Amino acid sequence: MVSYKQNFVYLLGILTSPVIEQFTDIGKMIQLTCPDKKPDTWQKLESEDILASCEHGNVMFNTSILHKIHITKDCQNLTIKVFKKEDIGIYRCYISSLDAAVQMYDFDINIRSITIVEANHSSNIKRKEGEYVKLTCLLHGGQPDTVVYWTVGGTILMTNKSAYVTYQFTAMSTDHLKQFVCNANSIKPCVTIASHPNPPTVRKGHNITLFCQDGCANDEVTNNFSWTQNGRLINNNTNMLQFIRAHSYVTGEYICIVKNIAGENFDVVNVTVTYSPVVQNYNVTFKTNGGPITLKYEAKGVPNKYKFSGWRHFTHNDQLVRTIQGYKNGTLILPHHADQELTYENSGIYICNVTNGIPDEDGQLWKAGKVVVIIEGKPEKPTNIRCQSTTNQIHVEFHPGFDGGSSQKFIIEYRKASSLAWMWLEIEESFNHYCIKNLEPSTKYELRMYARNKQGNSTFTDVCIIFSKDEMSSSGTKYIGFVLLFTITVCILFTWWRLRKAKRHDSQRSRENEQQIQGLGVIVNNLYGSAADIHGSSSSASAGRTDVYSSIDRRKENLDKQEVTYKIAEQGKKQFQLTDRKGRKRHTESGSSKLNYINVVFEPKPHIGTFYIHGADNRTPYADIDFSAKAEPLSSSDENDESSTCGGNNVDDFVSLEDVQQWNITED
């Protein structure tokens, strides 16, 4: 650390130059501060080296020692970064003046020394447990404000602002090999506050951080930090103060106070959080004889330099009346003549926009403020009156007018058209409708309204003429509604009954057709059955056969599709004969008078498409078609099958589709 001692030297022919003695330690940083704020040159006298010179705000260093020293821009402070033994000596700063006189300040830099008296130039002291121990620390090269102190493990045991300090205690086993350190310090903290961002001005919702730094690099004792905002102590004892999403209340003066063994120092910084104007809406009431009206736009934002738009005047029903240009400071004085009282037309809502150049969280630059001007006077009459009647009631709805600056009530007056006297009803301000009861049916009524407050009554509304309904029309309306509802219900039920009946009839006819077809035993059904189905009684013959896979090449074109038509023959005994393509007789059967027979005709119908089995060419193990297997041929229809009989005739009635196409059916 550095200590100071100042002497004065008087030289003939030049200005007096005081000599300032400073002491430091090897390896420490030392700073020399010229008492004058604008020195021109720094020099080391022993070597006569010019360390640095300053001209017009520019600093020029001696490049050979640039790595060892640092000069501030104003040349006032010279810092030796790491003090070495060869740096001992006298350093001088020169200050030139307009009268050619030169002022000089000299700094005599030496290495200070601290001695522990009881150690006798040793680093160890031997004592027995329970013995009294006294430690005395002497400082050589200190100055009157230097603080000398003892520490153990960074904890201060004893301090004294003098050239020595003594610490006494009784030796214990826990003190064995404990290290007691004597220090001296005469430099108070050199406090500076840095901010991020710099300068410390941010928009609302952004982050800002303050750093408190000791520029003297005084690291012998841990510094103690404290912060205040606008004089209020902040609960933070670190060297950093951080605000996340800063609000407007963060704005203010911040002081960082740093303490060490030699004393304390502080630095001040002003933080500004900018935000768009916060508008204060308000109501203002004027008397009819109160003179001119002056409105002031109330806004609060940072910065507080605002730009105002023109004023817009609306009625209390949000209808635009006019646009008025106010003053640059947000003030509006309504037009007024000295010989006139305030008019009710000046009442209403006045809106003005303001900006300070800072957008809000939604990115809007302009904020709208509202001032409601109320001029006390008589209320305005209600508007939009609507009336509806029944036999003995009239329902009234209306829209309230301006209340004149005070609470109001509504008065409904009504009478028979044949009467001169008005009857009236009073309605509270919170209602905008009313039902007039106990009226006479089939009667013409007149109705009007007005509003009332403490200043008086409004004008009357236009007279509304309405007829109460007669009892017959009311009951007739109810009867017509009942008949209409009954008719609709009957129609719905009748439609449902018809649909249900038709559905039941279709179901019955479907069952009859199915039974009729099954009773006929049409041969066309046998075409799609298997041999086992046709020879149902000859199960023994088919049981002896070995099942094989049939091979069908579906890639070939199929036979022409056939269109089948039939006609129910007339009742009576009929006979028909079937012949194949070769003209051979196939089957002859006599008809029964109790049965109907079907004539089957196959008309060729060309087939356009091609039937194809997908996967036949590129088969997988999951769809294996065996084309090598052959089915056992069916027995010829010309051969007799003794194992089956049909109506007593040994005739095989299984036919193929190709044979059926060649049949010639004739009717006897």
Residues in the chain: 668
Distance CA 395, CA 381 (A): 19
First to last CA, the chain: 145
Q: For residue 528, give the nearest of 496, 486, 562 by alpha carbon.
A: 562
On whether the CB atoms of residues 190 and 216 are closer than 8 A, the answer is yes
Instruction: Give residue for tokens 């704005």.
Output: 251
Q: Which tokens belong to 602?
A: 């196959």
Instruction: Give residue for tokens 């109501």.
Output: 283
DSSP 121: S
DSSP 602: E
Looking at domain 191-275, which of 3.60.21.70, 2.60.40.10, 2.120.10.90, 3.40.50.720 is its CATH number?
Answer: 2.60.40.10
Non-local CB neighbours of 122 within 8 Å, separated by 6+ positions? none
Q: Is the peptide bond before 144 cis (omega within 30 degrees of 0)?
A: no
Q: For residue 378, give the nearest of 346, 399, 406, 412 by alpha carbon.
A: 406
pTM over 0.85: no
DSSP 3-state of 504: helix
Non-local CB neighbours of 37 within 8 Å, separated by 6+ positions? 74, 76
Distance CA 490, CA 604 (A): 55
The per-residue DSSP string of 138-168 comes to EEES--TT-EEEEEETTEEEEEESSSEEEEE
Q: Which residues of the chain have pLDDT under 50?
A: 1-13, 520-594, 637-651, 667-668
Bridge partners of 8, per DSSP, are: 18
| Ranges in the chain annotated CATH 2.60.40.10 | 3-111, 113-185, 191-275, 280-375, 383-469
Q: For residue 434, give the nearest of 386, 373, 482 by alpha carbon.
A: 386
Look at residue 221 in the predicted model and tell me its pLDDT.
Answer: 57
CATH number of 113-185: 2.60.40.10
- Dihedral sign for Cα 525, 531, 533, 537, please: positive
DSSP 3-state of 345: helix
Q: How far is CA 301 from the centre of its chain?
A: 26
Pairing relation of β-strands 180-185 and 191-196?
Answer: unpaired
Q: What angle do CA 57, 68, 56 make, to 5 degrees?
A: 5
Looking at domain 280-375, which of 3.40.120.10, 2.60.40.10, 3.40.50.170, 2.40.50.140 is its CATH number?
Answer: 2.60.40.10
Q: Is the peptide bond before 197 cis (omega within 30 degrees of 0)?
A: yes
On whether the CB atoms of residues 577 and 668 are closer than 8 A, the answer is yes
Architecture label for domain 3-111:
Sandwich (2.60)
Quickly count: other Cβ atoms within 10 Å of residue 138's Cβ: 17
Q: Using one digit for the tens of pLDDT, what is the confidence trace for 341-397?
A: 556 678 889 999 999 999 988 889 999 999 998 877 788 899 999 999 998 899 999
Non-local CB neighbours of 550 within 8 Å, separated by 6+ positions? 629, 630, 631
What class does CATH assign to 383-469? mainly beta
DSSP 3-state of 660: helix
Residue 272 dihedral angles phi and psi, to the nearest 5°: -125, 125
| Distances, alpha carbon 140 to alpha carbons 24, 42, 114, 439, 553, in Å | 11, 27, 6, 117, 122
Q: Is the peptide bond before 277 cis (omega within 30 degrees of 0)?
A: no
